[in-house]
Amino acid sequence: MSFLKLKDFEEKEPVPGYKVRFIHSDNMTFAYWNIDAGASLPEHSHPHEQVANVIEGKFEFNLAGDKRVIEPGDVVTIPSNVKHSGKAVTDCRLIDVFYPVREDYK
């Protein structure tokens, strides 16, 4: 159990314009994104369930062909292996949560 501070975690940029800090709990991975306006995330999928939360800004989310602009107060649930992609409409902050842990992000 622990109290953590995001600023103590290394910021990575796995995709241009997608800056992120990861926290892994016993069962879940949390991705804290700071995304530059205009930056695109190519289509991908993974066996992990994902839930996306918009904290600030606007993000165009494409979930298996259903494309919508999401903003604070919006939540996207992405079941295992469903293809998704996206593009930041403005600078934005998102929190993605994955189950199980993203071992590939450790």
Alpha-carbon distances, residue 71 vs 64, 89, 92 (angstroms): 19, 10, 9
In terms of CB distance, is 16 or 25 closer to its own copies? 25
Nearer to its own copies, 15 or 28 (CB): 28
- Looking at the Cβ atoms of 16 and 100, the one nearer to its own copies is 100
Beta-bridge partner residues of 68: 61
Beta-carbon contacts of residue 47 (< 8 Å; ≥ 6 apart): 80, 81
Find the shortest distance in angstroms from Cβ 47 to its own copies.
12
Residue 2 Cβ, how far from its own copies at the closest point, in Å? 6
